Structure 1
Amino acid sequence: MAKIDLGQAPVREGSGYPAPFHEMAEGRTKWQLGDAGGLSDFGVNLVELPPDSWSSQRHWHEGEDEFVYVLAGELVLVTDEGETVLRSGDCAAFPKGVANAHHMVNRSDAPAIYLEVGTRLPQASPCHYPDVDLCYDPERGGYLSKDGMPYPKRVMA
């Protein structure tokens, strides 16, 4: 059956960033709907972002498209061009290879809920984080400082 039982979907809480970069996304919860539905070409996540949380560190991907659609609440999209408020029914797209770093911040007093859709590759592509000393390079082992030193793996609770 194609219907996905949200209660059976894999859930990820927080982020996989190394310390201290994980702290701003600690309250984020993602239901991995694409995984639950057996999708292989693209990922789909239902995300709940509590007040005062970030979706991620500001970033851009070399080889992965991203799309978000806000279902409830209010978010501030932060890009290289500045800030834009996103409310229920608003969406944003981030084409692969475009060096316009982005993330969303919940500055409201209520949770925000959005869908996030992205390219699913056999191996992740490099990702750039211009605001902090962080980059992601799967060929060099994952998260690195900008001078190429690997970060220690963070123990996930």
Structure 2
Amino acid sequence: MPKIDPAVALTKHGDSYPPPFSAMCAQISRTKLGDAVGLTDFGVSLLRLPPGQWSAQRHWHEQEDEFLMVVEGEVVLVEEGVETVLVAGDFAGFPSDVANGHHLQNRSDRVAVVLEVGSRREGSGCHYPDIDLDAPANSPDYVHKDGTPY
């Protein structure tokens, strides 16, 4: 059935970053809407971003397009040298293989809700320009910038 109740979809809490990189994302939750309806070409999640939390570490993907739309609240989109306030109804997109690390920060005093969509291309590496972390293509594990595993 194409229609679902988002309340019954799988919700993941926190993230998978190794410490200490997980602290800024420890209280977030993502409801996996795309998985709940069987989508395989792209992922669709509803992100709940509490005050003081980040959506992710600042990152960019080699082969994965992403976009987001703020549903409720206010967030700050942090990119390479630029910060932009986004409010309900605002949209932002990130083409693959553009080395413009990005993430959202909730600097407000209430939970923000963001619809996130990303392509699911296998073998896409992910890079984290601010920290000693990489997610190599075709690997489920994080590594240091020098390639040693966590």
Q: Give the gaps of 5 or more residues in structure 2.
A: none
- Give the alignment of 1:5-154 within 5 angstroms: 5-121=5-121, 123-151=122-150
Native 8 Å contact 2:123 2:138 kept in 1: no
CA–CA separation in structure 2 for the residues paired with 1:63 and 1:130: 17
Under a length normalisation based on structure 2, what TM-score does the superposition of the two structures give? 0.96
Which has the higher mean CA deviation after the structures are superposed, 134-143 or 31-40?
A: 134-143
CA distance in 2, matches of 1:13, 1:64: 22
How far did residue 115 of structure 1 move? 0.1
What's the % identity of the aligned pairs?
Answer: 54
The alpha-carbon deviation at position 68 of structure 1 amounts to 0.4
In the TM superposition, residue 2 of structure 1 has moved relative to its aligned partner by 1.1
Q: State the one-letter code of the partner of 2:47.
A: V
Tell me, what secondary structure is at the counterpart of 2:7?
Answer: helix
1:155 corresponds to: none
Q: Which runs of 5+ in 1 are unaligned?
A: 152-157
Deviation per CA, 1:15-34: give whole Å up to 9, x if none: 01111111100111000000
TM-score normalised by the chain length of structure 1: 0.92
Conserved in 2, the CA contact under 8 Å of 1:143 and 1:150? Answer: yes
Q: Which runs of 4+ in 1 moved over 4 A?
A: none
Q: How many residues matched?
A: 150
SS in 2 for 1:143: coil
Contact preservation (8 Å) 1:77, 1:85 = yes
Q: Is the 8 A contact 1:141 1:150 kept in 2?
A: no
- 2:130 partner letter: D
Aligned in 2, Cα 1:124/1:10: closer, same or farther, shift over 3 Å?
farther
> How has the CA–CA distance of structure 1 residues 41 and 139 changed in structure 2, closer, same or farther, with 3 Å as cutoff?
closer
Please tell me the residue identity of whatever aligns with 1:31. Answer: T
CA–CA distance in structure 2, aligned partners of residues 132 and 66 of structure 1: 21
